[in-house]
Chain A
Amino acid sequence: MSKRFAVVSAVIGLGLAANISFAEDPIKVGVLHSLSGTMAISETTLKDTMLMLVEQQNAKGGLLGRQLEAVVVDPASDWPLFAEKARELIEVNKVDAVFGAWTSVSRKSVLPVFEELNSLLFYPVQYEGEESSKNVFYTGAAPNQQAIPAVDYLKDDIGVERWVLAGTDYVYPRTTNKILEAYLKDNGVAAEDIMINYTPFGHADWQSIVSEIKKFGSDGKKTAVVSTINGDANVPFYKELGNQGVSAEDIPVVAFSVGEEELSGIDTAPLVGHMAAWNYFMSVESAENDEFIGNWHKFLGDEDRVTNDPMEAHYIGFNMWVQAVEKAGTTDPDAVQEAIIGVSVPNLTGGLSSMLPNHHITKPVLIGEIQDDGQFDVVSETSGLVAGDAWSDFLPDSKDIIADWRKPLSCGNYNVKTGKCSGQNL
């Protein structure tokens, strides 16, 4: 029995191998998103996005005359596993580029792998900045492409004078809040008008904190909450705001981690009027966006599925990679790295985004108010594109540092004062 099986499978295997050898090998694209565990809630959608983009590219005739093939792995929301799976993708599956990671800690975990094996990672989520690696392309927003414009909007358009910076206790909120605090103080906000609050992951009991925010806001000065609260902790937070009678008109909350996908899983009634800052909203009206949403619905066969900002980041990142590969004529990482700087592709808000020498991209910044259907109504939009800044200008440690991966500088951490290239991403 087992012998026969072996013979049959060997025959089939031979047949397959022969089949493949007629055509050229496909170009492999790695997809490194958690499909199980806590982050599956956000990352599963991005896996589907990548599959859709690859399918579309293949329908257009592939890349360099070859078909594309997506290799999907599941790092299961486990940070060390991200590094293992990244290594597996590059060494075993021989992928030419990887699209993946969501949390900063997962990115930090895979970073050494990509640098060691010299492969490419496209990271699609807004993050805290203070990083620029030769092997990573940051297609999500840097703090100056999300947090700073949001604060500007609150300050100038809504007249906010007191600030609550509330976040989950990990690297992204801590760094972002540090930048925001420095920025607010530069703009003449007194220290007693800033309240900073951190909560554990998945914090569920917001009674005391909301009550504190309410007291903080009862001073007669317009108060707003800038929220870097992550994931599951958001719903109980907004529910508690509603419970304690705090409406968006009294104390608006502007969030950096709440998008259409997160809203689709909750009762939006207590959130109406609160805000979020992103570089893309599903409600944006543009031809590219209509087409993208149409394709997305067709791909999943579900008209109710929403699109969100990190999906747009993958859309931009994938198209940039495709263009760079075509420009370089090869998928070799070094050649693509060189070719991709300066590449411009359409984003979904009706403009062009380009890859900058610091491996960040240009994006518009939009502020949207949550509507009761879980969509955002754009209330403010930056007049032009904002260039992603890897090293914040508002932190004393990083204001003299720039990143530029063009030759001859080729450095992700260059101090313009001392003229030295140093630090983590040598």
Chain B
Amino acid sequence: MPSITAGTFGFPQRISFWPIDFSIFVYPLNSIPNARCYGWRCICQSLLQQATVLLTLLLAFSVLSGQTYASDAENHNELIIELAPLLSDKKSRSEALDRLIASSAPRTLSWLNALLAGELYVRKSDSLPVVGVRSGKRYALTEAASGTEAGDASKSELKKVKINNAIRGQLRSAIAALALRDPDPKVRLVAVERMLQTLDKSEVTAIQELFPEETDTDVKALMLLATQLSDLDSGDAQLTIETINAIGVNTRDQVTQRLKKLADSESTEVAVAAALQLEVIEKRKTLFSRIETVFFGLSLGSVLAMAAIGLAITFGVMGVINMAHGEMIMLGAYTTWAIQVLLPGLTEYSILLALPAAFIVAFTAGVIIEYLVIRHLYGRPLETLLATFGISLVLQQTVRTFISPQNVPVSNPSWLTGLWQLDPALSLAVNRVVIFVFCLLIFITLMWLLKYTFFGLKLRAVSQNREMARALGARSNSIDAITFGLGAGIAGVAGVALSQLSNVGPNMGQAYIVDSFMVVVFGGVGNLWGTLLAGLSLGVINKLIEPWAGAVLAKIFVLVFIILFIQKYPRGLFPQRGRAAGD
């Protein structure tokens, strides 16, 4: 989700035409106009009030008009000092915020953004409102009103100005209004987008006012839409019909909502035009929603395939039933976490660093497990199953004891968040697309490794006929160890990717083990292509069933489907043929 951060607006902006901030004088504290007064007393009172205000104004003008920007900030500073505690208090929050917004002081925008981002604090020692940006254990401070640096502080020296959803909504609207003149077209786009959600009179006027000056085509198109939407609300039948046609097929919710209302309107002409347009829009939306479902399916499939590829090697190629496969995924995910903890400044690149690190960690773990346990159990599948199950429990409890029974937080780098907006009604999550591509990359690399390298050749030879391969000089022991390590290493790499989607905790491996076996068996044991296709198709099948059967039943249906499929084709989608199948 694109969010506006303080950095975007981190420069002073002058919005008001007045050189000084009046609001503090116009509404002195405790002088809320008295609504309940009668007769001459009332007149006197209000006259007196007005006179006071005028006098203060004149005074203020004479004192301040000649002064510089610094004193301007000072006044503003006083306003924030006065209002910051009110913002922390639930009852006075909204009113205080209104006053802050109305003050239209030069740096309003920058600290409104800080407030929205949760970075506005009050320093306890001198009640100075500051913007604090966390760096390591301390916070780097800048004065909220003037923007000058104010050293740093620890968390306990600061009191956060808390906000809630109501305030956030108010803030976003206020920021949108101020950001409409921002030089950055992206910021303007977000501002108009925000206004479309509410679109009251003042917002329409503001947009229309700026429309002729707008140079960016995207922003301009959105501004035009805002005008058109307000035309749809106008109630003028002729204008409404013209606008309906002018908007054309637009899948935005705001358009659909208005058309739905218009389809029930009294004027038949309007109702017919709206209903016709609505039908076309709904058709397109249905199409998009189908595309979306397939994408969801492919994305789930890529997760399944990725979790299973490592197993396809250990189980599929080597024939080892490795119940600790899920824990190899867990090791990879914990490596990601460890790297983020060790290198706190590098969140953006931590994933890229974690990929090789996770491979090495899981590879090593795999080789050790193979050397200590599995080596002694070849040809005894039941014992291997039990032994690896034991290993998985040991690994889980080790993490629980030495790290924490709690999940650990793995943050997402910003380049992996956000949406890839193809249409208002169709957007793909960036991280899902990346993970899908990543899954294909792992797959291609592995294929290359197995088919076109000398190691791959030896691996295939050993897995097909151990004795013959040994007779020809392949050292089956070390090849077994490396192959098992490779399977584990790839599971570790999968863990890095999965840490971006799901929990990282001691139990996470359990969530993937059953699905992984399902994919490998469905795809055909010993066939990598089968694993990929099985993963993707199971994902799509699951997502196609889910909308009408619910998530619980969808899972059951998929399992039933696999059982039936295996009954008919016991060797999966791509059975091994020839000698390889003979064992």
Binding site for B on A (CB under 8 A): 35-36, 38, 40-41, 44, 158, 169, 197-200, 202-205, 207-209, 211-212, 215, 218-220, 232, 235-236, 239, 242-245, 247-249, 252, 261, 264-269, 272-273, 369, 371-373, 377, 379
Whether B407 pairs with A232 at a CB distance below 8 angstroms is yes
Inter-chain contact A207/B550, CB cutoff 8 Å: no
Partner of A211, one of B292, B409, B502, B550: B292
Q: Contact check, A208 vs B293: say whether CB atoms are below 8 A apart.
A: yes
In the complex with contacts A218-B253, A249-B168, A369-B164, A232-B505 CB distance below 8 A? yes
Interface residues on chain B, number (Cβ under 8 Å): 53
- Known contacts A40-B405, A207-B429; 16 additional CB pairs below 8 A are A36-B400, A40-B506, A200-B551, A202-B511, A205-B299, A218-B253, A220-B257, A239-B412, A243-B419, A265-B408, A267-B410, A268-B409, A273-B165, A371-B118, A371-B162, A379-B90
B537 to chain A, nearest CB (A): 15
Which of the residues A208, A232, A243 comes within 8 Å of B432, measured between beta carbons?
Answer: A243
- Assuming the contacts A38-B507, A236-B501, asked whether A243 and B555 have C-beta atoms less than 8 A apart, the reply is no
- Give the A-B pair count, Cβ closer than 8 A: 134
Question: What's the Cα separation between A307 and B207 when bound, in Å?
Answer: 48
| Contact present for B552 and A207 (CB under 8 Å) | no
CB-CB nearest in chain B for A379:
B164
Residues A265 and B406 in contact in the complex (CB < 8 Å), given A36-B397, A208-B293, A219-B257: yes
Q: Using Cβ atoms and an 8 Å threshold, which residues of chain A touch B345? A: none
B507-533 at interface with A (beta carbon < 8 Å): 507, 510-511
5 cross-chain CB contacts under 8 A = A40-B405, A41-B406, A371-B118, A371-B160, A373-B160
Q: A208-B546, A211-B296 are in contact. Are A264 and B406 (CB under 8 A)?
A: yes
Cβ of A200 and Cβ of B409 under 8 Å apart?
no
Contacts of B253 in A (CB 8 A): 218, 220
CB of B411 closer than 8 Å to a CB of A: yes
Residues of A within 8 A of B576 (CB): none
**A265 to B253, alpha carbons, bound, how many Å?**
35
What's the nearest-Cβ distance from chain A to residue B320, in Å? Answer: 26
Q: Evaluate whether A204 and B502 lie within 8 angstroms (CB atoms) in the complex, with A249-B172, A267-B411 already known.
A: yes
Closest 6 CB pairs of A and B: A265-B407, A207-B296, A220-B257, A218-B253, A265-B406, A243-B429
| Nearest-neighbor residue (CB-CB) of B155 within chain A | A373
A198-B552, A208-B547, A273-B168 are known contacts. Are A267 and B409 too (CB-CB below 8 A)? yes
- Bound CA span A220–B289, Å: 19
Q: Is the CB of B303 within 8 A of A249?
A: no
Bound-state CA distance A294–B124 (Å) is: 21
Closest to B1 in A: A245
- Can you list, as one digit per residue, whether each of B528-558 has a CB less than 8 Å from chain A (1) or not (0)? 0000000000000011001100111001000
Cβ of B256 within 8 Å of any chain A Cβ, yes or no, is: yes
Decide: B427 and A244 in contact? CB cutoff 8 A.
Answer: yes
Within 8 Å CB of B550, what residues of A?
197-198
- A235 partner residues in chain B, CB cutoff 8 A: 407, 502-503
A219 to B503, CA, bound (A): 32
Interface residue? B169 (CB, 8 A): yes
Chain B's nearest CB lies how many Å from the CB of A381? 10
Question: How far apart are the CA atoms of A416 and B519 in the complex, in Å?
Answer: 56
Report the Cα distance A252→B502, complex, angstroms.
21
Q: Given A371-B118, A372-B118: A41 and B502 within 8 A (CB)?
A: no
Cβ of B300 < 8 Å from any Cβ of A? yes
User: Does B453 sit within 8 A of A, measured CB to CB?
Assistant: no
Indicate whether B240 reaches chain A with its CB closer than 8 angstroms.
no
Contacts of A261 in B (CB 8 A): 406
A235 to B409, CA, bound (A): 10
A41–B504 Cα gap in the complex (Å)? 12
A158 to B299 Cα, complex, angstroms: 35
Q: Does B483 contact A (CB under 8 A)?
A: no
Residue of B90, B292, B417, B552 with most partner-chain A CB within 10 A: B552
Contact B162 A377 (CB under 8 A): yes
Q: Are B412 and A204 in contact (CB under 8 A)?
A: no
A contact residues around B551 at 8 Å (CB): 197-200, 203, 208-209
**Chain A residues positioned under 8 Å from B1 (CB to CB):** 242, 245, 247
B146 at the interface (CB under 8 A from A): no
Is there a chain A Cβ closer than 8 Å to B77's Cβ? Answer: no
Does the CB pair A236–B502 fall under 8 Å? yes
B431 contacts chain A at the CB level, 8 A cutoff: yes
A205 neighbours in B (Cβ, 8 Å): 296, 299-300, 303, 542
Chain B residue, CB-CB nearest to A221: B257
Decide: A249 and B505 in contact? CB cutoff 8 A. Answer: no
Whether the Cβ atoms of A199 and B552 lie closer than 8 Å is yes
List residues 297-316 of chain B with CB under 8 A from any CB of chain A: 299-300, 303
- The closest CB in chain B to the CB of A35 belongs to B405
- B408 smallest CB distance to A (angstroms): 6
The docked-state distance in angstroms from the alpha carbon of A218 to that of B550 is 21
Q: Which chain B residues (544-581) contact chain A, with CB distance < 8 Å?
A: 546-547, 550-552, 555
In the complex, A269→B172 CA distance in Å?
A: 17
